[in-house]
Chains A and B, each alone.
Chain A
């Protein structure tokens, strides 16, 4: 393999890692917020009954 190929493989791997990490942070945050929101609504409903 040429030096250029190694360079491309290395940066593609690192860019993918950074993209995956960023996506994970955003998707975890969104999913947790949605769960918290629905639980808070359920708790409020339970308390009002």
Chain B
């Protein structure tokens, strides 16, 4: 709830309070305000991908049920946050660049691959019977897929093609302080939001596992 309230506050401040960008520097200056949810949703997706990596690696090596629940919950959270980021990015691209996607841009494509990976994990888990082999397969994808996170992070620094470069935590950053404040509120809110959703997702996975256990006990009792 706190995360949702913070996201709402970020939206309100981003639309009403944050200053407009220079008309000369942007083709679609009004659409730039997409940034106040686009960047925090990308940040939230990265946190979720990090949790997916942790859950996958601990499940793979320790066989911890808690880690599997983290894997499941964070794959769902990373899919939701990733889709929000891709959607808003495409809309901004259409407004600013005239095209929603650039297949030559490394940042766009590695982030899309991460989102597709989480889609595969979410759909794959639902279509496969639960078991150690299935979990190992998905955990391996969660571990190896994580390599795309640092690649995505450095992409605009190493190969800036179309996606804008970093505007915070860099000496080249040129972000207005009010814009920076709204972005910071957004980043904190989406962090709280994603952690809340992962915790809720872990509880849901726990309930699903309990239901499966009860169903098998019920079926055994009726034989």
Contact = CB atoms under 8 A, between A and B. Distances in A.
B33 interface: yes
Which of A6, A13, A29 has the largest number of chain B CB atoms within 10 A? A6
Contact of B31 (A7, A13, A32): A7
Contact of A6 (B91, B208, B211, B222): B91
Q: Give the size category of A's interface with B.
A: 20 to 34
A13 B38 CA distance: 12
Interface residues of B, number: 37
Contacts of A42: 218
Interface stretch (B127-135, B145-153, B167-175, B197-205): B197-205
Contacts, number: 89
Contacts of B221: 43, 46-47
B84 A7 contact: no
A9 B91 contact: yes
A2 B210 CA distance: 51
Contacts of A28: 204
Given A18-B7, A29-B200, A29-B207, A43 B91 contact: no
B94 A13 contact: no
Contacts of A18: 4, 7, 80, 84
Given A10-B87, A14-B37, A29-B203, A3 B31 contact: yes
Contacts of A22: 4
B217 A43 contact: yes
A36 B210 CA distance: 8
Contacts of A33: 207
Interface in A13-44: 13-15, 17-18, 21-22, 25, 28-29, 32-33, 35-36, 39-40, 42-43
8 contacts: A6-B92, A10-B37, A13-B91, A18-B84, A21-B197, A28-B204, A36-B214, A40-B214
Interface of A: 1-4, 6-7, 9-11, 13-15, 17-18, 21-22, 25, 28-29, 32-33, 35-36, 39-40, 42-43, 46-47
